[in-house]
Structure 1
């Protein structure tokens, strides 16, 4: 009787092992991102993981390495490019190091709002750019989520229009477009390393800086800055990137699941970031003593008008001029169509 029980137990164990083997995933997506597990970005990746594993019936397993465990953003994208991992987190700046035309997404005042930027990235026109990136760089852009616009803060005056930037010493990152942007408005662009920024504002080495609203709150810039202007000059993007060879190794059905999951993950992050930036952070900064100013449509136009030609000239010096003109034309046409739809 005992021997019979042991045989049954052994058989059951073998069956269980067989079931495990049968249910093992056909594909594994190892993914890297640079933010904490408490961030909206991580929650977006978790939605991606849950959807892809469920919708694929277990054919795809997703393993996420958060908080830069696999290195910097650039390091992780390099790993994804060569296939050491399958997916990685990118942004509007770093993507251009892998495919230069992506630098247009970091152009100041290219988009009037977050949704306009999202619509452009998913547009038929830009899908061709994404396909070229996939074929030429080995990295495919699956989805993008806005993490908020960069905005100006300063200690001199309330900046309501481009003319109000005159003479303000504005800290900018070491980016040619950022330098040209501030210069075009009459300000004095001053590169300062991120690590030295707070002290530079505190001591008066610079009068102001530009970053997403949440940065001003998280890093206590309200302690050394009086005024914030919601000019929304540069759209911040977090993207999900995938190794192109791996993506093409999937069946069409699994590729569709991965793309859908990436869009769902991006939508999750975008919704939470948008609420934080537009409601929580602004209200808190005002409560903490900052004067937060939202320009009127007419005032906002002065910022865009001041930098449009200098930005186009710079982009054309770096990229195919026809491509630059096409990007602006596509956005202008989409904007006109949206306006016509409500008139």
Structure 2
């Protein structure tokens, strides 16, 4: 063998040894799945999680992310995490209740006055207890959650200025009983469509409209298939990082702390960018693209709240422990009062 070939062979062997050493150094692997694009604020947050966890653990944890629905939709990912096929998945306010019923409360229309109030609730001692109970009963641990803005209605039929304008509109909703009940209470025709099929359903006219935060409408070019947007802010959009509980408990305490910190950093990253979109950039960008954006006045906003308030209370107390529902509302009222002091 020539000297050049010997050097090349030795170099290749060194690279292989290095790669093997790196693989062997990772004691744990976190395989994660989410359904959003690699350009989304959510994915940017997950990249922060990956970078932080691998670095802070000194290479003891390797993180591998499958984005953009490569492993299926949101519910698919959560099901895979539940059985341990992967270790971490993307949850949202519309799907967590399929795995732990009390999480349904998070999708209640007009539950929170603003993002800041929601963040205080999510980090409250009360809700931390709910998260622990979810881990015990479902096998899934909610590591962190990030607001991606309040959900707003868009449609191709007419401007929606009050709840009465919803009548007859085929409004796409996620496969969530709460969303179905909300649109029905307003007089609309709720039509469940998976996220992955939403754009095509609007484009083909299967549905007249949909409801998502402003930033999502911009990111996914809904302006190309929707004419009208109403800033009614009916539900808090909430993305979460969810981990298989058995895997979480298998980690040494110091690595669990790193994983939780990384998840909080991911949530903060997504929240920061989405907050900027919702408050500054996205509405103007959609208007420039031709979408008509309407902000209901206080009287019009109240028509939406009044339309759903009674039906939602009845629905929640039918589906959940009434004492739990009352406790949630009391906790939020207490947090709201404390914020005013």
By the TM > 0.5 criterion, same fold?
yes
Give the corresponding residue for 1:307.
308
Give the corresponding residue for 1:72.
73
CA contact (8 A) 1:23 1:58 kept: no
C-alpha displacement of 1:241: 0.7
Q: Highest Rg: 1 or 2?
A: 1
C-alpha displacement of 1:50: 1.1
The 5 A counterparts of 1:98-113 are: 98-113=99-114
Paired residue for 1:196, among 197, 201, 220? 201
Give the corresponding residue for 2:82.
81
Question: 1:301/1:336 Cα in 2 relative to 1: closer, same or farther (>3 Å)?
Answer: farther
Give the corresponding residue for 1:3.
none
Q: Alpha-carbon deviations, 1:256-280, whole Å to 9, x = none?
A: 1110110001111111122223332
C-alpha displacement of 1:242: 0.7
Q: Alpha-carbon deviations, 1:196-227, whole Å to 9, x = none?
A: 333438xxx85x54333245445655466554
Counterpart Cα distance in 1 of 2:71 and 2:23:
30
Give the corresponding residue for 1:320.
321
CA contact (8 A) 1:170 1:182 kept: no
CA contact (8 A) 1:44 1:266 kept: yes
Counterpart Cα distance in 1 of 2:192 and 2:95:
19
Counterpart Cα distance in 1 of 2:192 and 2:67:
29
The aligned length equals 325
CA contact (8 A) 2:54 2:62 kept: yes
Question: 1:200/1:75 Cα in 2 relative to 1: closer, same or farther (>3 Å)?
Answer: closer
Q: Alpha-carbon deviations, 1:68-123, whole Å to 9, x = none?
A: 22233222222211222211111111211111111111111111222222221221
Q: Say which is worse superposed, 62-71 or 260-269, in terms of deviation.
A: 62-71
Secondary structure of the equivalent of 1:232? strand
CA contact (8 A) 1:198 1:221 kept: no
Counterpart Cα distance in 1 of 2:35 and 2:61:
23
CA contact (8 A) 2:230 2:296 kept: yes
Q: TM-score, normalised by structure 2?
A: 0.83
Q: Which runs of 5+ in 1 are unaligned?
A: 1-5
Give the corresponding residue for 1:171.
171
Question: 1:182/1:165 Cα in 2 relative to 1: closer, same or farther (>3 Å)?
Answer: farther
Secondary structure of the equivalent of 2:205? helix
Give the corresponding residue for 2:3.
none
Counterpart Cα distance in 2 of 1:184 and 1:153:
17
Question: 1:42/1:323 Cα in 2 relative to 1: closer, same or farther (>3 Å)?
Answer: same
Give the corresponding residue for 2:40.
39
Secondary structure of the equivalent of 1:111? coil
CA contact (8 A) 2:49 2:263 kept: yes
Matched, 1:295 2:296: yes
Counterpart Cα distance in 2 of 1:244 and 1:220:
36
CA contact (8 A) 1:30 1:85 kept: yes
CA contact (8 A) 2:184 2:190 kept: no
Q: TM-score, normalised by structure 1?
A: 0.83
CA contact (8 A) 2:89 2:243 kept: yes
The 5 A counterparts of 1:1-343 are: 20=21, 24-154=25-155, 158-162=159-163, 164-165=164-165, 167=167, 169-173=169-173, 175-185=176-186, 187-191=187-191, 193=193, 194=198, 195-200=200-205, 206=208, 208-217=209-218, 221-222=222-223, 225-297=226-298, 299-338=300-339, 340-341=340-341
Secondary structure of the equivalent of 1:141? strand
CA contact (8 A) 1:53 1:61 kept: yes
Q: Say which is worse superposed, 63-72 or 234-243, in terms of deviation.
A: 63-72
Q: Which runs of 5+ in 2 are unaligned?
A: 1-6
CA contact (8 A) 1:35 1:42 kept: yes
